[in-house]
Amino acid sequence: MSILDVVKGAATVLGMDVPSLLYGATSREMVEMQELANVMASEIADAHDWQKLLIQQTFTGDGVSDAFDMPSDFRRMQKTSSLWSSRWQWATEHLTSPDQWLELQVTPVATVNGYWIIYGDQFHQWPVMASGETVTFFYVSNQIVIASDTSKKTVFTEDADSFRLSEELLKKAVIARWKQNKGQAYEQDFDDYQDMLLRRIDTDGGSKPVVSGQPPVSWRGRRVAWPGTVTGAA
C-alpha cells in the first residue's frame, strides 16, 4: 500500500475529498497531510524496537582507536541495547554520564569489563580494542520508508512510497492525530490506534510460546524450556 493509498483511506473517514495525489499537491489539507504522514510514521517507529528496522553492527578494533562512527542509517539504539565483546565474551557496560567516562580515563585501575558511551556522533569503547577484537550490537534503522524502486529512505517524499511497518496502523494514527489537531472528537480513534499499536507490538518478531518442564538430557531437536510451572488462573 502506498502512502497515497493510506491518505486516501484516511480522507474517506475524515469526510475529505479523496485526493488524486499527495506529494506535489498544494492545497492546505494535503500539505498538512504530507507533514502528518511523516510525523506519525516516525512516532510509530519509535514506539517499539520493530524487528524490520533492526540492523546488526560490528566494530572491529585496530589497537589504537576508541571511537567509531555511527552507521549512516542510525536512528537510535534498542531500548535494551548491549554491546557484546569478543574479548570479555559478555556484554560491555553502557555509561550514560560523561563524568563516569572521564573517570575511566584518569583512574589508574585495571578494568575487568568493557565500557561504551555515545557522544560527538560516535561510539566510544574502553579499553581500546586490540587489533581484530570486536563488539557487536543491534540498532534501529532510520530508513522507515521504501521507495517505488525498492530503495529505503527516511521520510515520505513521493506518492508511491510505502511504509515499512503497518500501513493500516499508520492510517489509524493519521486519522486520530488529524482529528485531535482540528479540535474534533478523537478519543475513540486514538483508542483504536493505540489498541492496534499494542497488538502489532505483541506479535512483532513471531510467536512467544511458553512451555513448562525440566530441560531434557539431549538437546537434539528440542527447544529451550522455561524451568517453572504454568498454572491456570484461580
Give the pLDDT mean for 137-152.
97
Residues 6+ positions from 74 with CB-CB distance below 8 Å: 139, 141, 142
pLDDT at 210 over 70: no
Look at residue 80 in the predicted model and tell me its pLDDT: 84
Give the pLDDT mean for 50-76.
96
CA 112/CA 87 separation, integer angstroms: 11
Look at residue 220 in the predicted model and tell me its pLDDT: 45
Look at residue 227 in the predicted model and tell me its pLDDT: 52
**Tens digit of pLDDT for each residue in 181-203?**
999 999 999 999 999 999 999 99
Look at residue 105 in the predicted model and tell me its pLDDT: 84
Tell me which amino acid residue 107 is: T
**Grid coordinates standing for 97?**
554520564
The answer to whether the CB of 109 falls within 8 A of the CB of 93 is no
Look at residue 214 in the predicted model and tell me its pLDDT: 56
Largest Cα–Cα distance in the chain? 70
Look at residue 208 in the predicted model and tell me its pLDDT: 61
Least confident of 16-30, 35-49, 99-113, 199-213: 199-213
Look at residue 213 in the predicted model and tell me its pLDDT: 53
The answer to whether the CB of 22 falls within 8 A of the CB of 33 is yes
Q: How many CB atoms lie within 10 A of CB 178?
A: 22
Q: Which residue has the cell 499527495?
A: 22
Look at residue 224 in the predicted model and tell me its pLDDT: 47
**Tens digit of pLDDT for each residue in 67-114?**
999 999 999 999 888 899 998 888 899 998 999 999 988 887 777 789
pLDDT at 233 over 80: no
**Tens digit of pLDDT for each residue in 221-231?**
454 455 555 55
The answer to whether the CB of 165 falls within 8 A of the CB of 4 is no
